[in-house]
Amino acid sequence: MHENISTTIFWVGEKGSEANHNIPNIASAWDDMWMMHYNGIDDPDNREGWYPTDFEPKENPFYFALPYNNFDGNGEKKENLTSYIPWMTSNNANDTSICKNRWIKITKGATTAYAQWEDVGPFGEDDKDYVFGTSRPQNTINNNAGLDVSPAIRDYLGLNDIDKTDWQFVDAEDVPDGPWKNIVTTGNIDWVNWYRPDIDTTWQWQLQGNINTSYNVEVYDIDLFDTNTSLIASLHKNGKKVICYFSAGSWEDWREDKDDFPSSVLGNDMDGWEGEKWLDISNEALHPIMKARLDLAVQKGCDGVEPDNVDGYTNETGFDLNASDQLSYNKFIATQAHERGLSIGLKNDLDQVVALEPFFDFSVNEQCHVYNECDKLQPFIDTNKPVFNAEYAQKYVDNINGERDELCAQSKKMKMKTLVLPLNLDDSFRYGCFDGDLMWKESSIILFYLIN
């Protein structure tokens, strides 16, 4: 029994801040997709019983962290584990954590809760003498904190933000029934590396015509189906990352997989786009089709994806869709992308940015300046994720009264990466509002004729 241990609160999806020494909890030490597997942010302030108000977790809400990891910083198993971890045997696999999902009982006064080990901390990863022995915690922060616990444990035990508890390891078969057994976490290590662009990443977006590969940018956003693997390989050879576009919320009658969609998921025609219909994103019949599209992105060598039309619930789709339907579907797409090692961008859907930003690696937006709604994208900026914005208004194309100059100045101030493009995204013209970018693809041609 470890007695009188300073205990602090943390939660799945917690962002880095001064309060937690800028250590985010979107991923755990053993699960790169911890928040996604949990099904969202375990909001400590909005609770319904032991769960967050907005959703039912898919993993145990009674979880904790201790300052030890049986893997080193390179993902290699540490040596001599059998000498100090009681349950460690020589048969434990190299790709399995013998710490993750272990149970402890935690006592405060006369009340005891049980919980599963799901992360490493607070403030340390190798304090074996404390975790498995009789030493006090090495950590000196937060009154020498040696245990981090979830909001559900906090509420069950009635803990303050920094409190004192006693704890000890217990075998799974000795854990009594209680709310900690309603949902038991079984998944082990899930280390997936995918491309994560930062806020300064530059981009080009072209979905029609022969792809112009000459732009001085880091990312190309191009069509998944219309782009061949050789072009993607060529862009990679030139040091570019490739984001592959497909529609996740609409059916298009020209796509090669159009016959895979059952008629029951096809809704109203999409205004302004011939041959395109809204999809019933609440129907799980779409799931294998979208998984196949993500598999195609992997096969072609895409670094990430841009699923379009993921805001059907705000449109006349022909189906009774609500915000919850859209959140669930968008989280599904994001999780499936990450499980395949793909980066993913949130396309528009501005009213759900706060809830979805943690699941997405960047944003692709259209005309937030025209509609005066760029501020809704601030959560991406705040987490160092790029906002790739496209504007189509003629006033920006013509730079009437310096409108484009003002647009670019505003975009730079907001740290957005804005392009002024044709609506059909065919590269017939292009203005970039970021330093080092080629401003207009035809400018060099005009200069050539002047010289000659």
Rounded CA-CA distance 223/195 in Å is: 18
From-to residues of CATH 2.40.40.10 in the chain = 2-181
Rounded CA-CA distance 322/311 in Å is: 10
Q: Which CATH superfamily is domain 203-451 in?
A: Aldolase class I (3.20.20.70)
Residue with tokens 């205004």: 271
Could you tell me the two tokens for 257? Answer: 């997989």
pLDDT of residue 92: 62
Q: Residues 408, 397: contact at Cβ < 8 Å? A: no
The whole-model pTM stands at 0.75
pLDDT of residue 23: 78
From-to residues of CATH 3.20.20.70 in the chain = 203-451
Could you tell me the two tokens for 304? Answer: 């990430």
- CATH code of the domain occupying 2-181: 2.40.40.10
Q: Residues 320, 279: contact at Cβ < 8 Å? A: no
Rounded CA-CA distance 321/279 in Å is: 10
Mean pLDDT per block of 10 residues along the chain (452 residues) reads: 97 83 84 90 96 95 96 84 87 76 98 98 92 95 96 98 97 97 94 91 97 96 96 96 98 97 97 94 96 94 97 96 96 92 95 93 96 95 95 95 95 96 96 68 40 38
What is the number of other CB atoms lying within 10 angstroms of the CB of residue 160? 10
Burial label for 320, CB within 10 Å (0-12, 13-18, 19+), is: exposed
Q: Residues 408, 414: contact at Cβ < 8 Å? A: no
